[in-house]
Amino acid sequence: MNNSINTIAQNIIDELSPLKGVRVIAAMSGGVDSSVMAVLLKEAGLDVVGVFLNVWDYSRDEVNRHGSCCSLEDSYDARRVADHIGIPFYAMDMRKEFRRDVIDPFIADYETGRTPNPCERCNRFVKFGALLETADQLEASFIATGHYVQRRDDEHGLHLFKGNDAHKDQSYFLATTNREQAKRILFPVGGLEKNDTRRLAHHYALPTADKHESQDICFIPAGDRIAFLKREGAKSGFREGDIVSQDGALLGRHQGIAHYTLGQRKGLGLPDGPWHVVSLDGVTARVVVAHPEDAMIRSVDVGGIVWIRTPCEGELVTAKVRYQMQPAICTLEASDEGLKVRFDSPQKPSAPGQVAAFYSGDELLGGGIVSRVG
């Protein structure tokens, strides 16, 4: 962007100014995005209360060593930012809710052959679930986050759109956010490029301006998913079993389906490759693989559907069933589980447990959870 940083800041402040005096909970993770979000709300004159969600055990060595969005260091950073910009700050204990709604389902999915999406569940149940209940207790009208998602309201209601920065867009992870939740969420940095967020952080001399951005799952900051699952007591996901082709030919053995995800192609160590994992059976402990041309999918079944805006009849809808996937044109058909999503062209494999996000252009319509891959 060629605009001066003052212009960028003022444009966002002007957009937020109609909410001057309204109380808002700023969900502060200790990172640069949420720090800039909080200062922009304060500059626009909102009554801002900073909240950090303590979702994991800070005493764990691997969290303290590597850092993540739930480490003790991040809590300190969030408090430093709140003190710097002059807003009240609270650290809230959400470990019980996080364990119940994110950790336990994460373990159960890997035990049964599904591939969970913990960020989606954290947004749905903790950030936009339990935190909204906290907002009610604090008499706050909104919560605000540092997600790269854009909100636009008009005479027809609320609309959510992809973030302007294609490399940072996080709309996919909000696809299961329901309409009532979305009405109470603000995304002040959603229209920014990441480099401009950094520039704003320096402009306001925020303590987190140069902070490194973690890419790991927050409760597995060292990146060792297998060690985490074993430490947390997962057992059935580590039963030995066969690796077979789609026609049943035995290709090898494995040490547990928890080591694999659908669509995986690296680290299989099988002859006559390349291969892709196309099925994981938690009952028989079988891993089924196929060559790339046979691993493509044409449809998925999706359950737990929520709509932020219900698509109109005849509207062109696209879907993505993996975060890194480009939305693909599809047809939506009602099914017993929710929706059958049929793609116009073959797509790389997704996995049960992943988010299916539906779009109309850049507008996020809603989504659900993949239950079966076709």
Catalytic residues: 122, 218
Residue partners of 211: CB distance under 8 A and separation at least 6:
30, 31, 32, 77
Residue 173 DSSP label = G
Token representation of residue 285: 């402990």
**Three-state SS sequence of 138-149:** CCCCEEECCCCE
Residue partners of 359: CB distance under 8 A and separation at least 6:
162, 171, 317, 318, 319, 320, 327, 365
| Distance of alpha carbon 56 from alpha carbon 132, whole angstroms | 19
| Distance of alpha carbon 159 from alpha carbon 369, whole angstroms | 21
**Three-state SS sequence of 240-287:** CEEEEECCCCEEEEECCHHHCCCCCCCCCCCCCCCCEEEEEECCCCEE
